[in-house]
A and B are shown apart, each in its own frame.
Chain A
Amino acid sequence: MKTFRGFLVFSSIAVLAASIFLPSGAAAQDTTTNSSGKSEQWIHVRVESKEDHGETVRVNVPVEMAAKVLPAINKSNLHDGKVHIDSMHTNDVDLRAILDAVRSSRDGEYVTVQGNDNDVRVAKSAGYLYIHVTDKSDGKKTVAKDGKTGAKAGAGHESKVEIKVPMKVVDALFSAGKDELDIVAALKALSAHGDTELVTVKDDQNTVRIWVDSKNVAD
Chain B
Amino acid sequence: MLILAKAALGLGATMAMAGVYVFHEGVIRVDVDEHRTGGSHVHFWVPATIVATGMHFVPKDQLNHTTQEMRPFLPALREVAKELEKYPNVELVDVTDARDHVRVAMVEGKLRIDAVSGDGDVVHVSVPARVLRDVADELEIDNR
Chain B residues with CB below 8 A from A120, complex form: none
Q: What CA separation (Å) do A58 and B6 show in the bound complex?
A: 58
Most chain A beta-carbon neighbours within 10 Å: one of B83, B85, B130? B83
Contact (Cβ within 8 A) B87 A18: no
What is the distance, in angstroms, from A83's C-beta to the closest C-beta of chain B? Answer: 15
Chain B residues with CB below 8 A from A25, complex form: 24-26, 109
Q: What CA separation (Å) do A68 and B94 show in the bound complex?
A: 22
Contact (Cβ within 8 A) A55 B95: yes
Q: What CA separation (Å) do A44 and B103 show in the bound complex?
A: 15
Contact (Cβ within 8 A) B72 A10: no
Determine chain B's interface SS by DSSP, over half rule. Answer: helix
Q: What CA separation (Å) do A29 and B87 show in the bound complex?
A: 9
User: Which of A13, A22, A29, A64 contacts B88, CB < 8 Å?
Assistant: A29
**Number of residue pairs spanning A and B whose beta carbons lie under 8 angstroms apart:** 116
Q: What CA separation (Å) do A72 and B77 show in the bound complex?
A: 9
User: Which chain A residues (147-195) contact chain B, with CB distance < 8 Å?
Assistant: none
A1 within 8 A of B: no
Chain A residues with CB below 8 A from B82, complex form: 68
Which of B15-23, B34-42, B62-70 is found at the contact surface with chain A? B15-23
Q: A18-B20, A29-B109, A55-B96 are in contact. Are A72 and B83 (CB under 8 A)?
A: no
The size of the chain B interface, using a CB distance under 8 A, is 38
What is the distance, in angstroms, from B105's C-beta to the closest C-beta of chain A? Answer: 9
Q: What CA separation (Å) do A58 and B105 show in the bound complex?
A: 11
Chain A residues with CB below 8 A from B94, complex form: 56-59
User: Which of B24, B76, B86, B92 contacts A61, CB < 8 Å?
Assistant: B92
B31 within 8 A of A: no
With CB as the reference atom, state the residue of chain A lying closest to B2. A2
| Interface bits A15-33 vs B (CB < 8 Å: 1, else 0) | 0011011101100110111
User: Which of A28, A49, A58, A68 contacts B109, CB < 8 Å?
Assistant: A28
Q: What CA separation (Å) do A57 and B97 show in the bound complex?
A: 9
Chain B residues with CB below 8 A from A85, complex form: none
What is the distance, in angstroms, from A207's C-beta to the closest C-beta of chain B? Answer: 15
Contact (Cβ within 8 A) B20 A17: yes
Chain A residues with CB below 8 A from B109, complex form: 25, 28-29, 32
Chain B residues with CB below 8 A from A18, complex form: 20
With CB as the reference atom, state the residue of chain A lying closest to B17. A17
B46 within 8 A of A: no
A36 within 8 A of B: yes
- A–B pairs, 10, beta carbons within 8 Å: A25-B25, A32-B86, A49-B97, A56-B95, A59-B93, A60-B92, A62-B86, A69-B79, A72-B78, A72-B79
Q: Which residues of B contact A (CB under 8 A)?
A: 2, 5-6, 9, 12-13, 16-17, 20-21, 24-26, 72-73, 75-76, 78-80, 82-88, 90-98, 109, 130
- Known contacts A10-B12, A69-B83; 15 further A-B pairs (Cβ under 8 A): A10-B13, A17-B21, A22-B20, A24-B24, A29-B109, A32-B88, A55-B95, A55-B97, A56-B95, A57-B95, A58-B93, A60-B90, A72-B78, A73-B73, A217-B90
